[in-house]
């Protein structure tokens, strides 16, 4: 049967996350973007919502079962609050989820509980690379089997909290296949560079990282000798970004719409002009439709179906939508939209980033 | 629980309809495009039989509210998939499907149990019958129902209808080619505006009701679009659905219109989706024959233009299709779906026009030639952005809802 209704449990969780998104994430968003720093207790509070913990089975320290559907519902809501804060709070999932999906039993039992059973720690991921045509299926970073270990070389970008991470999941091409490796903090050859200066997500510390002849033992490879299947992991990453894009878009619409009813020009609220009203309607319709692409892909992930195409379409659709919606939100506010006192310009800056952000979140 | 599992019964409908669409509709599609006003009787008779075998009229969602149901309601969803598939076959021919068109939808929405029995039973008869719905008049389309000029005047136990309706889909099949009926929207009090408008059923053979013109069109040529003239046309008192009096002039008298459209707009969206899918699948196949494979998953900087276009079309198609399904799921769940119905309708109108015109462009001389159906789908597509409320009108409907404006505040 088709159904578009979250479960009671999901609804309750979303209500809690909504409150957090509204009272905490949204409140902190502006200053974090300006100062470059997210309050630590904000991230911890988001972590305590327990979205990741509920996705990890008991034997690995969690208290539930992985549900990509719950994950995208949560990601949308957090993204609605603030993208930088959401990415920070969700960060450990980029580390733990691929291990859950592709790790050996030993890796799962050893590596996941320290993430899950503690307060938030920036377990992170090195995924994106600083090239214009970055494609996750063909990583420029290489892993080579050398003796009884691997050697990694290359450059990574947008590595969130690289400076504070206890452990990093690094993606690299091994014989042309994208694989992942667990790299402990401080490993020799893991060189943390400058903090990235980005157009948006200003509160989120992201770093360049160089891998210079980084030597790793055989066990460092995710999934052991056989490696792991990158396809569902990439799909999870794409739907996570897609869900966040829906959230940011909804934030922009939710702000622009009441503004348009308030703001009068020649004595008439601008929302009573079709050119404004229709923009808002199209924003709303694109959000409604594209959200369903995300839900469908997430549902397919949970069903264990091959979702590579659907996840890609969801990613494509929502990233285009986020740009369209956030741009229009600024347009609806006119010159005021250009001023940083209003959040719409931040959403527009963040909105442009989604097409680049794959790998920075997972559900 | 959120789920995208296609129910078994819908799957069966799809498989069955795909056979019809592929083996019956596609081969005759060009012929009925080039021979406007000819009627695809083979298809009509086949569908009439098939639907009788499937147990009643598949094309409407007649459901007895009181009857106990096993499992969830699926009528509207089933119809959505059926219409999508038949339109994938051919929209014009699909519009000739007997046994329940817009007229039946209006009776479903506005009629009593008695009305439903009296007017809809004929569709289960031996011969195929049609129905139609006439709202539009020459002076106003989008302005309806507020600007209805066709009048219904009470005379004892009869109503006398006068006026002219235009652009009535299947009007000729309902009134001339079969023993069908037309639902005429008429005003019982011209001073009351929309509050005075009522749906009135006029059956085939009623004196004073004549088809005066058959239009020649850009597309969907297999479907007749006619003008209907009502000259002192008398119908029984009971043929008027809703309150026979205008109690309060301020109220929304023409509620049936709105209810009808909440159900039929997603159907138009589904129809649009079928055409869009046909065009997209066809060009993908034509490209494949040229050895071109669409590489999903690449960043845009690595895609060829053709790949990017196809991926973009596919994304828009799927998103809109899912919203269409959702709006009909809401209808089945008896949730108010006005917003979603209008949203999927205008998105679908945009998407189908966009996909079919791009398909023609991308295929160049092969897209523009009448050797293939691509150019025909482009012509057929446009109607979806026009009837059942233009794209603008459906945007207005959504706008008023999400902005909480009355029609006076936003028009
Ligand atoms: C093939 C075909 C089949 C049809 N079948 C039926 C049928 O079965 N029954 C029936 O009753 N009708 C039917 N119609 C009529 C159809 O619903 C109308 O044509 C449609 O509603 C538009 O009305 P109009 O043609 O009078 O255009 P107009 O109302 O004159 O509109 C012209 C343009 O103005 C725009 N516009 C109008 N009002 C506004 C506004 N307030 N704000 C912004 N823009 C606006 C419209 O979107 C459109 O772009 C059919 C039409 C066709 C072509």
Domain extents for chain A?
Answer: 8-116, 124-226, 230-356
Task: List the residue whose alpha carbon is closest to atom 7 of ligand 1.
Answer: B168
Side-chain half-sphere exposure of A215, counting CA atoms within 13 A: 5
CA angle A155, A202, A125 (to 5 degrees): 35
State the Cα–Cα distance between residues B259 and B204, nearest whole angstrom: 25
Q: Any CB–CB contact under 8 A between B250 and chain A?
A: no
Query: Can you give the pLDDT at residue B256?
Result: 62
CB-closest option in B298, B347, B403 to A277: B403
Query: What is the reported pTM?
Result: 0.95
Residue with tokens 């028009």: B411
User: Cα-flanking dihedrals φ and ψ of residue A103, to 5°?
Assistant: -80, 160
B149, B139 contact by CB (below 8 A): yes
Angle between helix axes A83-102 and A40-47 (nearest 10 degrees) is 50
Sort A58 into a burial class: Cβ within 10 Å, 0-12 / 13-18 / 19+: exposed
Looking from the CA of residue B393, the nearest atom of ligand 1 is: 47
Query: Can you give the pLDDT at residue B54?
Result: 76
A272, B405 contact by CB (below 8 A): yes
Does domain A230-356 correspond to CATH entry 3.10.50.40? no
Query: Can you give the pLDDT at residue B55?
Result: 67
Query: What does the radius of gyration of chain B's CA atoms come to, in whole angstroms?
Result: 21
**pLDDT digit string (tens) for B221-272?**
999 999 999 999 999 999 999 999 998 765 555 556 666 778 889 999 999 9
The distance between the two most distant Cα atoms of chain A, rounded to a whole number of Å, is 77
Angle between helix axes A274-302 and A68-81 (nearest 10 degrees) is 150
| From B203, B307, B375, B388, active-site residue | B388
How far apart are the CA of B93 and the nearest CA of chain A, in angstroms? 29
Q: Which of B228, B200, B156, B176 is nearest to B39 (CA)?
A: B176
Query: Can you give the pLDDT at residue B68?
Result: 57
| CATH of segment(s) A8-116 | 1.10.540.10
Looking from the CA of residue B102, the nearest atom of ligand 1 is: 8
State the Cα–Cα distance between residues B39 and B226, nearest whole angstrom: 14
Q: Any CB–CB contact under 8 A between B323 and chain A?
A: yes
Question: What class is the B8-123 domain?
Answer: mainly alpha
How far apart are the CA of A252 and the nearest CA of chain B, in angstroms? 15
B178, B41 contact by CB (below 8 A): no
Torsion, Cα of A351, A353, A359, A361 (10° steps):
-30
Instruction: Please state the separation of Cα B260 from the chain's center in Å.
Output: 11
Task: List the residue whose alpha carbon is closest to atom 50 of ligand 1.
Answer: B167
Helix (H) or strand (E) holding A167: strand A167-174
Q: Which residue of A has its CA nearest to B317?
A: A289
State the Cα–Cα distance between residues B386 and B259, nearest whole angstrom: 19
Per-residue confidence of chain A (363 residues) as pLDDT tens digits?
Answer: 999 999 999 999 999 999 999 999 999 999 999 999 999 999 999 999 999 999 999 999 999 999 999 999 999 999 999 999 999 999 999 999 999 999 999 999 999 999 999 899 999 999 999 999 999 999 999 999 999 999 999 999 999 999 999 999 999 999 999 999 999 999 999 999 999 999 999 999 999 999 999 999 999 999 999 999 999 999 999 999 999 999 999 999 999 999 999 999 999 999 999 999 999 999 999 999 999 999 999 999 999 999 999 999 999 999 999 999 999 999 999 999 999 999 999 999 999 999 999 999 999
CA angle B367, B369, B375 (to 5 degrees): 55
Q: Which residue of B has its CA nearest to A253?
A: B402
Residue with tokens 């059942």: B388
State the Cα–Cα distance between residues B370 and B354, nearest whole angstrom: 19
Token couple for A262: 């308030």
Pocket test for ligand 1, best of B350, B390, B396 (most atoms within 8 A of CB): B390
Active site residue B203: no
The fourth-level CATH superfamily of domain B127-252 is Butyryl-CoA Dehydrogenase, subunit A, domain 2 (2.40.110.10)
Task: Give contacts of B297 with chain A, Cβ < 8 Å.
Answer: 135, 137, 234, 308-309, 312
Domain with CATH 1.20.140.10 in chain B: 254-403
Token couple for A202: 């200003």
B363, A38 contact by CB (below 8 A): no
B46, B305 contact by CB (below 8 A): no
**pLDDT digit string (tens) for B272-318?**
999 999 999 999 999 999 999 999 999 999 999 999 999 999 999 99
Does domain A124-226 correspond to CATH entry 3.20.20.120? no
State the Cα–Cα distance between residues B172 and B187, nearest whole angstrom: 23
Query: Can you give the pLDDT at residue B315?
Result: 98
Task: List the residue whose alpha carbon is closest to atom 14 of ligand 1.
Answer: B167
Query: Can you give the pLDDT at residue B386?
Result: 97
Domain with CATH 2.40.110.10 in chain B: 127-252
Fold for the domain defined by B254-403 = Butyryl-CoA Dehydrogenase, subunit A; domain 3 (1.20.140)
Task: Give the ipTM of the model, two decimals please.
Answer: 0.95
Q: Is the CB of B411 under 6 A from ligand 1?
A: yes
User: Cα-flanking dihedrals φ and ψ of residue B52, to 5°?
Assistant: -60, -40
Domain with CATH 1.10.540.10 in chain B: 8-123
Q: Using the beta-carbon criterion (under 8 Å), do A312 and B1 form an inter-chain contact?
A: no
Token couple for B6: 């296609």
Q: Which of A63, A11, A51 is nearest to A361 (CA)?
A: A51
Token couple for A314: 């969801």
Q: Which residue of A has its CA nearest to B316?
A: A317
Query: Can you give the pLDDT at residue A173?
Result: 98
Instruction: Please state the separation of Cα A141 from the chain's center in Å.
Output: 21
How far apart are the CA of A268 and the nearest CA of chain B, in angstroms? 10
Looking from the CA of residue B223, the nearest atom of ligand 1 is: 1
Q: Is the CB of B168 under 6 A from ligand 1?
A: yes
Residue with tokens 């309806």: B144
Side-chain half-sphere exposure of A208, counting CA atoms within 13 A: 12
Q: Is the CB of B134 under 6 A from ligand 1?
A: yes
- What is the phi-psi region of residue A206: left when phi exceeds 0, alpha when psi lies from -120 to 50, beta otherwise? beta
**pLDDT digit string (tens) for B90-133?**
999 999 999 878 999 899 889 999 999 999 999 999 999 999 99
């Amino acid at each position: 049967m088709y159904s578009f209704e979250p479960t009671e449990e999901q609804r309750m969780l979303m209500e809690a996350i909504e409150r957090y998104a509204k009272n905490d994430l949204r409140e902190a968003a502006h200053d974090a973007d300006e100062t470059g720093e997210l309050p630590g207790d904000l991230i911890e509070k988001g972590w305590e919502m327990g979205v990741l913990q509920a996705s990890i089975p008991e034997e690995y320290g969690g208290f539930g079962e992985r549900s990509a559907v719950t994950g995208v519902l949560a990601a949308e809501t957090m993204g609605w609050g603030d993208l930088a804060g959401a990415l920070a709070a969700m960060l450990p999932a980029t580390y733990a989820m691929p291990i859950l999906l592709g790790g050996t039993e030993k890796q799962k039992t050893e590596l996941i509980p320290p993430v899950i059973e503690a307060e938030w720690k920036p377990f992170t991921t090195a995924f994106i690379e600083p090239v214009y045509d970055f494609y996750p299926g063909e990583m420029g970073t290489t892993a080579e089997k050398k003796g009884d270990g691997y050697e990694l070389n290359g450059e990574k970008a947008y590595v969130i909290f690289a400076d504070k991470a206890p452990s990093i999941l690094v993606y690299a091409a091994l014989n042309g296949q994208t694989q992942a490796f667990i790299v402990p903090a401080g490993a020799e050859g893991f060189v943390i560079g400058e903090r990235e200066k980005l157009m948006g997500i200003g509160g989120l510390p992201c770093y360049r990282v160089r891998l210079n002849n980084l030597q790793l033992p055989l066990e460092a490879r995710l999934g052991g000798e056989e490696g792991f299947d990158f396809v569902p992991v990439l799909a999870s990453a794409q739907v996570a970004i897609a869900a966040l894009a829906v959230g940011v878009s909804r934030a922009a619409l939710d702000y622009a719409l009441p503004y348009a009813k308030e703001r009068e020009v020649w004595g008439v609220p601008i929302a009573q002009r079709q050119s404004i009203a229709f923009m808002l309607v199209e924003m709303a319709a694109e959000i409604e439709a594209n959200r369903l692409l995300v839900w469908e892909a997430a549902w397919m992930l949970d069903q264990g179906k091959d979702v590579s195409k659907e996840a890609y379409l969801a990613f494509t659709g929502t990233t285009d939508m986020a740009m369209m919606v956030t741009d229009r939100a600024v347009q609806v506010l006119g010159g005021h939209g250009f001023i940083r006192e209003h959040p719409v310009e931040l959403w527009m800056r963040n909105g442009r980033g989604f097409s680049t952000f794959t790998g920075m979140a997972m559900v | 629980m959120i789920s995208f599992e296609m129910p078994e019964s819908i799957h069966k409908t799809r498989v069955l309809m795909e056979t019809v669409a592929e083996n019956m509709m596609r081969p005759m599609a060009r012929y009925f495009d080039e021979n406007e006003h000819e009627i695809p009787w083979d298809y009509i008779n086949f569908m009439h039989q098939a639907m009788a075998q499937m147990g009643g009229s598949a094309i409407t969602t007649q459901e007895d509210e009181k009857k106990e149901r096993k499992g969830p309601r699926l009528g509207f969803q089933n119809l959505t998939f059926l219409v999508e598939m038949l339109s994938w076959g051919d929209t014009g021919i699909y519009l000739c499907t007997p046994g329940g068109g817009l007229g039946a939808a209006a009776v479903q929405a506005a009629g009593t149990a008695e009305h439903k029995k009296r007017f809809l039973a004929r569709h289960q008869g031996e011969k195929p019958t049609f129905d139609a719905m006439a709202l539009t008049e020459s002076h106003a389309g989008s302005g309806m129902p507020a600007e209805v000029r066709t009048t219904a005047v009470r005379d004892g136990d009869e109503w006398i209808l006068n006026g002219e309706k235009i652009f009535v889909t299947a009007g000729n099949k309902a009134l001339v080619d079969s023993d069908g009926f037309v639902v005429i929207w008429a005003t019982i009090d011209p001073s009351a505006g929309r509050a005075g408008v009522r749906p009135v059923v006029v059956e085939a053979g009623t004196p004073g009701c004549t088809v005066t013109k058959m239009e020649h069109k850009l597309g969907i040529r297999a479907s007749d679009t006619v003008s209907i003239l009502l000259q002192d046309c008398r119908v029984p008192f009971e043929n008027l659905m809703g309150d026979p009096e205008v109690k309060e002039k301020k109220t929304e008298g023409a509620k049936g219109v709105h209810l009808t459209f909440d159900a039929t707009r997603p159907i138009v969206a589904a129809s649009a989706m079928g055409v869009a899918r046909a065009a997209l699948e066809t060009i993908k196949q034509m490209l494949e024959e040229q050895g071109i494979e669409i590489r999903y998953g690449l960043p845009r900087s690595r895609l060829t233009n053709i790949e990017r276009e196809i991926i973009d079309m596919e994304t828009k198609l799927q998103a809109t299709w899912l919203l269409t399904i959702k709006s009909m799921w809401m209808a089945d769940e008896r949730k108010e779906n006005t917003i979603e119905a209008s949203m999927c309708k205008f998105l679908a109108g945009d998407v189908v026009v966009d996909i079919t015109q791009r398909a023609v462009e991308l295929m160049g001389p092969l897209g523009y030639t009448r050797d293939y159906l691509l150019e025909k789908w482009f012509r057929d597509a446009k109607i979806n952005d026009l009837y059942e409320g233009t794209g603008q009108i459906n945007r207005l409907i959504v706008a008023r809802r999400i902005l909480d404006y009355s029609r006076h505040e936003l028009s």
